[in-house]
């Protein structure tokens, strides 16, 4: 597995996700993942956003490493379509995890609105944004990761 490449791709694609979420906010969908992540450790505000953005880049790198392991060891290929397929499982897991946010996040429900599972608290448009962001992440990671190493063949010993 090309660990350094997968980690770098995670940072790059995570940065693209931050830009896409900023664009989504400009059109009125209040997707505040960076703020939610940072507010685990700091009061909501600019410092929490910066910390959350850094955490999102780190998380994106870890997730990209998991994608790379799947590409290398299960799928034996990496491209945009394979990335989208892997993203489906990532999306289901992430959306379900968001359902637990009010129970585990110190600021949600007190000072911050919960996005709800799959961003459903933001309405249908929120759910569509959630799906689009995850599928885009998968397509980009798969496309940028590129060719996988061929599986190792076991040699029979005589």
27-39 confidence digits (pLDDT tens)? 999 999 999 999 9
Q: What is the pLDDT of residue 25?
A: 97
**What's the angle, vertex CA 109, arms to CA 34 and CA 101, rounded to 5?**
55
pLDDT reading at 151 higher than 80 = no
Contact between residue 46 and residue 117 where contact means Cβ atoms under 8 Å apart = no
pTM of the model: 0.91
Binned at pLDDT 50, 70 and 90, residue 154 comes out as low
What percent of the chain lies above the pLDDT cut of 70?
94
How far, in Å, CA of 115 to CA of 74, rounded?
Answer: 33
Which residue stretches of the chain are H helix? 3-26, 33-38, 46-70, 80-99, 101-104, 124-145
- CB-side neighbour CA atoms (13 Å) of 118: 15
How far, in Å, CA of 69 to CA of 62, rounded?
Answer: 11
How far, in Å, CA of 140 to CA of 15, rounded?
Answer: 12
Helix (H, G, I), strand (E, B) or coil at 30: coil
Q: What is the pLDDT of residue 105?
A: 83
How far, in Å, CA of 8 to CA of 107, rounded?
Answer: 31
């Amino acid at each position: 597995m090309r660990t350094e490449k997968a980690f770098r791709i995670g940072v790059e694609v995570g940065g693209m996700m931050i830009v896409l979420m900023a664009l989504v906010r400009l059109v009125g969908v209040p997707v505040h993942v960076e703020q939610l992540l940072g507010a685990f450790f700091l009061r909501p505000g600019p410092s929490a956003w910066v910390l959350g953005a850094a955490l999102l880049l780190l998380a994106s790198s870890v997730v990209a490493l998991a994608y790379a392991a799947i590409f290398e060891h299960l799928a034996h290929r990496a491209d945009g379509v394979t990335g989208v397929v892997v993203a489906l499982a990532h999306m289901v897991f992430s959306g379900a995890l968001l359902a637990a946010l009010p129970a585990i996040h110190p600021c949600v429900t007190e000072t911050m609105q919960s996005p709800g599972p799959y961003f459903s608290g933001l309405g249908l448009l929120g759910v569509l944004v959630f799906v689009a962001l995850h599928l885009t992440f998968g397509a980009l990671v798969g496309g940028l990761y590129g060719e996988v190493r061929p599986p190792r063949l076991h040699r029979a010993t005589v």
